[in-house]
Amino acid sequence: MEERRKLPRKYLMVYSSIYEQNTGKMLGYLCDLTLDGLMVISKENLEIGKETEIRIDLPEISAFKESYLKIKVHVIWIKPDLDPRLNNIGFQFLELSEEQKPIIAQMIDSYEFRREDGSPLTSINDLN
């Protein structure tokens, strides 16, 4: 299968938990992140197009004054993980506030993704 990714994948050094805000159900762990969206490793099998609000637990570092973010998202893709018990779910942010953007940018910076060329992800489409 041909690789469609525009940038090499970066992996988080630390995983934040992701929850469905309305139910409190844990969806999985943050695996990849851009200013457009995120990828979650999950045991869940969500429907493409589903809209929900998620809660992202933030790491306990001084750069973050809050302990979590709540963001409206929708599922844009779902693929099996290398572990057949898990799925990789791509979420696109629907309502990322101006206050949340620098927090997401700081998360990308703080987690120090590993990219061969050192460039950041710019779009959720780069996660495919």
Domain ranges of the chain: 17-113+123-127
Question: How far is the C-alpha of 36 from the C-alpha of 104, rounded, in Å?
Answer: 10
CB 84 within 8 A of CB 69: no
Q: pTM (2 decimals)?
A: 0.77
Whether 122 has a pLDDT exceeding 80, the answer reads no
CB 66 within 8 A of CB 111: no
Choose the weakest-confidence range: 36-45, 70-79, 101-110, 118-127.
Answer: 118-127
What count of other Cβ atoms lies within 10 Å of the Cβ of residue 17? Answer: 14
| Per-residue CA distances from 12 to 6, 30, 43, 94, 110 (Å) | 18, 8, 19, 23, 9
| The pLDDT value given to residue 110 | 72
- Give 4-60 pLDDT, tens digit per residue: 545 444 444 457 899 999 999 999 999 888 889 999 999 999 999 999 999 998 877
| The pLDDT value given to residue 105 | 86
Angle at 18 between CA 41 and CA 1, to 5 degrees: 25
- Regarding the domain delimited by 17-113+123-127, which CATH topology (the fold level of the hierarchy) does it fall under? Thrombin, subunit H (2.40.10)
| The pLDDT value given to residue 106 | 83
Instruction: Specify which of 11-20, 77-86, 106-115, 116-125 reaches the highest per-range mean pLDDT.
Output: 77-86
- Give 85-96 pLDDT, tens digit per residue: 999 999 999 989
| The pLDDT value given to residue 121 | 47
